[in-house]
Amino acid sequence: MSNSSSNKSQSQTKNNPDSTGHSDQTFDAIIVGAGSAGLAALREVAKRTKRFLIINDGAYGTTCARVGCMPSKLLIEAANAYHRRHTFETFGITGSNALAVDIPAVLRRVRRLRDDFVAGTVSITDELGARSVSGRAQLLSSTQVQVNGQTYSAKGIILAPGSSPILPPAMQALGARVLTTDTLFEQTTLGPRMAVIGMGPLGIEMAQALARLGVAVHGYATKEMLGGMSDPDVNAELRQALERDITLNIGAEASLHAVEGGIEVRSGAHRTVVDQVLVAIGRSPNLQGLGLATLGVPLDKHGLPPVNPKSMQVGDSPVYLAGDAHNDRPLLHEAADEGHIAGLNAMAPTPQCFERRIPLAIVFCDPNAAVVGQGFSALQRQDGLQFVTGSVNFVGQGRARAGQRNQGRLSVYADAASGCLLGAELCAPAGEHLAHLLALAVSQKLSVAQVLGMPFYHPVLEEGLRSALRDAARQLPDAVSSDLAHCGPIGALALD
Amino acid sequence: MSNSSSNKSQSQTKNNPDSTGHSDQTFDAIIVGAGSAGLAALREVAKRTKRFLIINDGAYGTTCARVGCMPSKLLIEAANAYHRRHTFETFGITGSNALAVDIPAVLRRVRRLRDDFVAGTVSITDELGARSVSGRAQLLSSTQVQVNGQTYSAKGIILAPGSSPILPPAMQALGARVLTTDTLFEQTTLGPRMAVIGMGPLGIEMAQALARLGVAVHGYATKEMLGGMSDPDVNAELRQALERDITLNIGAEASLHAVEGGIEVRSGAHRTVVDQVLVAIGRSPNLQGLGLATLGVPLDKHGLPPVNPKSMQVGDSPVYLAGDAHNDRPLLHEAADEGHIAGLNAMAPTPQCFERRIPLAIVFCDPNAAVVGQGFSALQRQDGLQFVTGSVNFVGQGRARAGQRNQGRLSVYADAASGCLLGAELCAPAGEHLAHLLALAVSQKLSVAQVLGMPFYHPVLEEGLRSALRDAARQLPDAVSSDLAHCGPIGALALD
């Protein structure tokens, strides 16, 4: 769900119970928002009842498919395919000077596949007929929702209104040159000069991808730590990787100013004129006008009610809040989990608590950056926790060298007493895959030695991860020696 | 170690204890072979004593670094980088018609990096001075080894003589046009027409890489199942992938015949003339002349003595056999484990048994093929075992589509009663990474539900693996419902 009003694929009112504007229907569940969280809730609700309603305001198709994960990855895949030409001469491939990128064509493919991904999600609500309503929902009480002038009651209400890109009014006032992800992928072309404000995961991904497509990109961040990293060594690696593609300005706030033929970005003493600016400073929950105050629970300064992250329940009410609107873990897989939990609990006699998954965050830059489980700073903040850091630099790693991908660093953190893997941060080749391997290990509370007991094929990038694990193992108390986990490196850098 | 006599980097005799040709030294351990297994054994031995000897016949540098894993991956990386041009137009990248591959330049890079990898391994023995001897070793008894006319005694002997490519005399007789991995990477150029005999992992990898470098490749296999696969669905996918690049001839034995300007390959009714033939029909242990008969244990038809795979001990003797010479698991990571075990046990008062790692085999074709844990046919052969197969096809997978890598299939096998993951076969994008994730799961005897409890980010290829796990879960008894492992797909193909 989004606050945009374009792209409505469904009529304003499919459900018109009576002419008074009041429905005599009481539903088992009402879902507000047909985004990823809402659709996940819908799946559970629809398994259990036909007496439900799903209400969506604005564009259908989920943030992820429409303006988030999917179109961004389409842009990145094209950018990285083109960028790979820099390895060609070394491999023995000639003619890369003749390669060029057609940004309008790249964007057309992004939209074409994006539309296909969106269609898959839209078809879910399209099949529901009168049970799907397009309009802006407002809570009247913990069991009543008003939409398009109609009031509906339900035993359980799931709120999954999603979020919208933050765009400060002063920036928005500058007009069409100022973009967010809502508008970025709708452009017919981009550049030749762009600024990206905000070096969170999305800002980093788009800044690097645009640069690799030939746009001159200036990136702006207020904080040293980029993309959610907290380990200084890993962050340094990520920064170095980014600075191969973009000009990075770190420290001062950036402000935008209209000038002849473009927008001037000012940050500290730095001034640059660009053609377009992508504002990527975060998203805010779509809570305005939702009527949360009617629930009678205290709202925080962001207007958020207290939500139990294990049940998604708002206070003791029959209302559940799921997805980006919760703003705790604004990630697709977490939104899907939250919708799942909310859907089950809205239909259950009493809400149940679910064990949430361990944290996993990935930045799809190259090399990929990721935080798995508990990051470095989260561990440092824990009083009395002793942990060891095992680290590897990929510069000399054999397989990475073979593929001309030998950049990056990976650090694992393990409990100094038990050897249990607590988390990892990385900016490393195939980092998205290494992060999933580590996520399984952390999920299962495995020790460093247990992970070292698995087979590592040769030559693979996972051997780099193994080097980091071995580095951690050297700092841990000895485990049983009849365990092959203690089989050490052969001693030739490129082979280990 | 290899039977090739080229590339000797050390003098014939560094150790010349006395003029009679008999040493009065008794070593704690003698290691025969300075390949991966031998070097792994050396690491453990050298930690515990300075009274050891390592003897190597022929070229130093390990099969893996010199003629195996490393040069093959260097060729593959270049081939796949070049092949990726076929995706360029769709991505929006123009000019790919101007790209060309310079095979001699590709091979020069292969050798340059290969030499660097080899140097890393050679330096290990180079630093040993008189404790490293170049020559062909022969057992005189379970405690005596003869080399270069000298006899040495040791309390423990580790045999790691390695293996050599099988090249039938009739094929060898055809001369320089007939290649094995010992000679492939030494060529100044390759093609334009080549045959690859044998579609095991190496044959598949090289056939596809050569084809992607522009060589017209004919591949020959006698059996339907390719590259170690045993699941018919996965094998069909692998076959289909290969046939996009090469002409595959399956069924009859291939024979080679010298003709004007090339070699004719005959297989059944099929005749093709090629410029070169790569024979990739396997490797045989370097056991000839090793003197295994002196151990007084029965040898099998291949000349192999009984070896305990958990201790590497030969019968009850103080002799240990490790690495490819064992021929049980001719893979680098297994050779390293076997050398590790043999090195520890040769130095121990009594040999210990080690739990071996679960099987993992990867074919670095594109998409990568792999077998993890127990393959399909191994499971089928187990009396009384009921297992379920969960499968996914990557054609519609979202991230794979974004990257134009949407080919392949992955199947997981789980115990029908316990849900425990037993193994997997796959031919899938990023298969080498998915295989490692599965290898950790199988190593830890995790259930399908336990793996589904980890976070899967979006959009990633691991979501394809999750689809296969969910497919398996649907066929398994229900687990606890408060487990997020049961969070299902959203229902839009490209998003799950």
**A129-176 pLDDT per residue, tens:** 999 999 999 999 999 999 999 999 999 999 999 999 999 999 999 999
Contact B457 A360 (CB under 8 A): yes
| Interface size, chain A vs chain B, as Cβ–Cβ contacts under 8 Å | 316
Contact A432 B352 (CB under 8 A): no
Widest pairwise Cα distance in chain B: 81
Query: Any alpha helices (H) in B347-457, and if so which ranges?
Result: 376-380, 398-402, 431-443, 448-452
Instruction: Say yes or no: A374 and A444 in one domain.
Output: yes
Which of A90, A106, A443 has its CB closest to that of B454? A443
Instruction: Say yes or no: B194 and B340 in one domain.
Output: no
Instruction: Say yes or no: B248 and B301 in one domain.
Output: no
DSSP string, B355-374: PPPPPEEEE-SSSEEEEEES
pLDDT confidence of residue B486: 73
Residue B80 belongs to a domain: no
Min Cα separation B413/chain A (Å): 18
Residue A481 clears pLDDT 90, i.e. is over it: no
Residue B364 belongs to a domain: yes
Residue A469's pLDDT band (cuts 50, 70, 90):
very high
Q: What is the mean pLDDT of residues B299-304?
A: 91
Domain that holds residue B23: 17-66+108-164+284-346
Q: Which residues of chain B lie closer than 8 angstroms to A31, CB-CB? A: none
Q: Which of B242, B259, B281 is the last residue of a domain?
A: B281
Tell me the residues of chain B between 346 and 365 that have a Cβ less than 8 Å away from chain A. 352-362
Instruction: Say yes or no: B316 and B442 in one domain.
Output: no
Contact A482 B355 (CB under 8 A): yes
Q: Count of domains in chain B?
A: 3
Question: Quick one: what percent of chain A has pLDDT higher than 90?
Answer: 89
Q: Which of B119, B107, B52 is nearest to B78 (CA)?
A: B107
Residue B435's pLDDT band (cuts 50, 70, 90):
very high
Residue A492's pLDDT band (cuts 50, 70, 90):
confident
pLDDT confidence of residue B16: 45
pLDDT confidence of residue B496: 74
The SS3 of residue B486 is helix
Residue B480 clears pLDDT 70, i.e. is over it: no
Q: Does B446 touch chain A (CB under 8 A)?
A: yes
What CATH number is attached to the domain comprising A267? 3.50.50.60
What CATH number is attached to the domain comprising A397? 3.30.390.30
Residue B462 clears pLDDT 50, i.e. is over it: yes
- Tell me if A202 is assigned to a ligand binding site: yes
Q: Which residues of chain B lie closer than 8 angstroms to A457, CB-CB? A: 331-333, 360-362, 432, 435-436
Residue A377 clears pLDDT 80, i.e. is over it: yes
Residues A192, A210 contacting (CB under 8 angstroms): no
Instruction: Say yes or no: B145 and B47 in one domain.
Output: yes
Residue A17 clears pLDDT 80, i.e. is over it: no
Q: What is the mean pLDDT of residues A334-363?
A: 96
Contact A77 B451 (CB under 8 A): no
Residue A176 belongs to a domain: yes
Torsion sign, CA atoms A229, A234, A236, A241: negative
Instruction: Say yes or no: B35 and B160 in one domain.
Output: yes
Both tokens of residue B3?
């039977």
Residue B355 belongs to a domain: no
Torsion sign, CA atoms A183, A185, A186, A191: positive
Torsion sign, CA atoms A378, A242, A394, B207: positive
pLDDT tens digits along B375-393:
999 999 999 999 999 999 9
Residues B2, B58 contacting (CB under 8 angstroms): yes
Integer Rg of chain B from CA: 25
pLDDT confidence of residue A14: 43
pLDDT tens digits along A402-461:
999 999 999 999 999 999 999 999 999 999 999 999 999 999 999 999 999 999 999 999
pLDDT tens digits along A247-270:
999 999 999 999 999 999 999 999
- Tell me if B282 is assigned to a ligand binding site: yes
Residue A81 belongs to a domain: no
Give the separation between CA B239 and CA B218, rounded to whole angstroms. Answer: 13
Question: Quick one: what percent of chain B has pLDDT higher than 70?
Answer: 94
Instruction: Say yes or no: B482 and B367 in one domain.
Output: yes
Instruction: Say yes or no: B425 and B449 in one domain.
Output: yes
The SS3 of residue B204 is helix
- Tell me if A231 is assigned to a ligand binding site: no
Residue A459: asked if its preceding bond is cis (omega within 30°), the reply is yes
Note whether ipTM > 0.90 here. yes
Instruction: Say yes or no: B479 and B442 in one domain.
Output: yes
pLDDT confidence of residue A16: 45
pLDDT tens digits along B336-362:
999 999 999 999 999 999 999 999 999
Q: Does B369 touch chain A (CB under 8 A)?
A: no
Q: What is the mean pLDDT of residues B258-277?
A: 97
Burial (CB count <10 Å: 0-12, 13-18, 19+), residue B149: exposed
Would residue A19 be called left, alpha or beta, if left means φ above 0 and alpha means ψ between -120 and 50 degrees?
alpha
Tell me the residues of chain B between 415 and 434 that have a Cβ less than 8 Å away from chain A. 430, 432-434
Residue A488's pLDDT band (cuts 50, 70, 90):
confident
Q: Which of A256, A281, A306 is the last residue of a domain?
A: A281
Q: Does B312 touch chain A (CB under 8 A)?
A: no
Min Cα separation A256/chain B (Å): 31
A1-5, B131-135, B374-378, range with the lowest pLDDT: A1-5
pLDDT tens digits along A294-313:
999 999 998 999 999 999 99
Instruction: Say yes or no: B133 and B184 in one domain.
Output: no
Please name the helix (run of DSSP H) or strand (run of DSSP E) that holds residue A180, with its range, or none. Answer: none
pLDDT confidence of residue B155: 97
| Close Cβ partners of B278 (under 8 Å, ≥ 6 residues apart) | B179, B180, B181, B184, B194, B195, B196, B197, B203, B206, B207, B210
Contact A120 B483 (CB under 8 A): no
Residue B352 belongs to a domain: no
Contact B437 A435 (CB under 8 A): no
Min Cα separation A493/chain B (Å): 7
- Tell me if A203 is assigned to a ligand binding site: yes
pLDDT confidence of residue A491: 74
Residue B458 among the catalytic residues: yes
Q: Which of A188, A1, A21 is nearest to A108 (CA)?
A: A188
Residue B11's pLDDT band (cuts 50, 70, 90):
very low
Question: Quick one: what percent of chain B has pLDDT higher than 90?
Answer: 89
Residue A76 belongs to a domain: no
Which of A84, A337, A359 has its CB closest to that of B84? A84
- Tell me if B182 is assigned to a ligand binding site: no
Both tokens of residue B372?
């993890």
Who wins on pLDDT, A11 or A311? Answer: A311
Contact A355 B439 (CB under 8 A): no
Both tokens of residue A316?
């003791």
Who wins on pLDDT, B99 or A488? Answer: B99
Residue B197 belongs to a domain: yes
Closest Cα in chain A to B351: A482
Contact B354 A404 (CB under 8 A): no
Give the separation between CA B340 and CA A482, rounded to whole angstroms. Answer: 11
Helix axes B201-212, B232-243, angle to 10 degrees: 30
Q: Which residues of chain A lie closer than 8 angstroms to B482, CB-CB? A: 352-355
Active-site amino acid positions of A: 458
Give the separation between CA B81 and CA B427, rounded to whole angstroms. Answer: 19
Which of B106, B352, B430 has its CB closest to that of A482? B352
Residue A489's pLDDT band (cuts 50, 70, 90):
confident
Instruction: Say yes or no: B207 and B254 in one domain.
Output: yes
pLDDT confidence of residue A210: 98
Q: Which of B263, B281, B299 is the last residue of a domain?
A: B281
Residue B180 clears pLDDT 70, i.e. is over it: yes
Which of B64, B90, B402 has its CB closest to that of A73? B402
Instruction: Say yes or no: B157 and B182 in one domain.
Output: no
Q: Which residues of chain A lie closer than 8 angstroms to B102, CB-CB? A: 92-94
Residue A87's pLDDT band (cuts 50, 70, 90):
very high
Helix axes B431-443, A431-443, angle to 10 degrees: 10
Q: Which of A243, A280, A278 is nearest to A263 (CA)?
A: A278
pLDDT tens digits along A190-228:
999 999 999 999 999 999 999 999 999 999 999 999 999
pLDDT confidence of residue B479: 61
Question: Please, what is the average pLDDT of chain A?
Answer: 93
